[in-house]
């Protein structure tokens, strides 16, 4: 198998960098070029239009938690979608083979290399690799895209179009995990697109239980306050 040219993508803003994303930057030890989309420095034009057009939409209240329901907060998670789809489209042109997309509230521990990616993550016949959680939405704090797959560019453009034309608001939920899944399942059913699920199909912190859990920790939710996930294998 020929060598894979891989890059890693993440996104944060200055406030989130001060709160927790600095740990991502301080611990990042993988040999792949890291590309950061800083939401404060340069906002993508179509993302800016989406935010301006939909900033009036308030997520539904979650009375159980006395907070806003993230499941319906399309604007909050749009930054990541626009960054990742922009990266897929632009890095394909640069002949990059694979994109690893990781949330900014991640802490890195074990070094990996291209051979590790080939063994555990990349599959030539699969468009993307994801962490499935059975009957609930996937954990999209980690996504891998095979840029050599014939459906990847179309997938990225379809994802972007869901936001460009506000189609996400026709769906039951508007957070990015639900939208990534919705479009992926559509590609699987209509095109027969193959994808690689490295999740165990169970709810909860699937990343910590997966092969990824031995190399980095996704300190999602309140875990980021401690800088560590109690479920982590590391």
Q: What does each of the 234 residues of the chain score in pLDDT, given as a tens digit? A: 678 999 999 999 999 999 999 999 999 999 999 999 999 987 899 999 999 999 999 887 654 454 457 899 999 999 999 999 999 999 998 999 999 999 999 999 999 999 999 999 999 999 999 999 999 999 999 999 999 999 999 999 999 999 999 999 999 999 999 999 999 999 999 999 999 999 999 999 999 999 999 999 999 887 876 777 877 777
Q: Is residue 205 part of a domain?
A: yes
Q: What confidence score (pLDDT) does residue 66 get?
A: 43
Q: Is residue 210 part of a domain?
A: yes
Separation of alpha carbons 1 and 58, rounded Å: 49
Q: Is residue 28 part of a domain?
A: yes
Q: Is residue 42 part of a domain?
A: yes
Q: Is residue 195 part of a domain?
A: yes
Q: What confidence score (pLDDT) does residue 63 get?
A: 43
Q: How many folded domains does the chain comprise?
A: 1
Could you list the residue range(s) of the whole structural domain that residue 104 is in?
6-226
CATH number reported for the structural domain that contains residue 71 in this entry = 3.90.550
Q: Is residue 109 part of a domain?
A: yes
Q: Is residue 232 part of a domain?
A: no
Q: Is residue 234 part of a domain?
A: no
């Amino acid at each position: 198998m020929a060598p894979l040219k891989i890059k890693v993508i993440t996104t944060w803003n200055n406030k989130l960098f001060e709160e927790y994303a600095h740990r991502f930057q301080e611990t990042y030890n993988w040999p792949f070029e890291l590309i950061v989309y800083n939401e404060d420095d340069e906002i993508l034009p179509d993302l800016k239009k989406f935010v301006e057009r939909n900033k009036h939409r308030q997520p539904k209240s979650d009375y159980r938690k006395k907070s806003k329901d993230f499941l319906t907060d399309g604007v909050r998670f749009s930054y990541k979608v626009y960054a990742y789809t922009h990266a897929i489209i632009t890095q394909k042109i640069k002949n990059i083979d694979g994109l690893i997309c990781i949330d900014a509230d991640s802490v890195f521990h074990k070094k990996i290399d291209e051979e590790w990616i080939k063994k555990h993550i990349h599959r030539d016949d699969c468009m993307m690799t994801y962490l499935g959680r059975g009957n609930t939405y996937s954990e999209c704090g980690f996504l891998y895209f095979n840029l050599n797959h014939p459906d990847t560019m179309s997938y990225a453009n379809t994802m972007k179009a869901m936001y460009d034309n506000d189609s996400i608001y026709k769906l039951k939920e508007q957070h990015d995990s639900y939208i990534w899944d919705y479009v992926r399942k559509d590609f699987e059913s209509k095109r027969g697109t193959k994808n690689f699920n490295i999740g165990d199909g169970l709810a909860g912190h699937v990343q910590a239980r997966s092969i990824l859990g031995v190399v980095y920790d996704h300190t999602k939710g309140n875990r980021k306050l401690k800088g560590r996930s109690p479920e982590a294998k590391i």
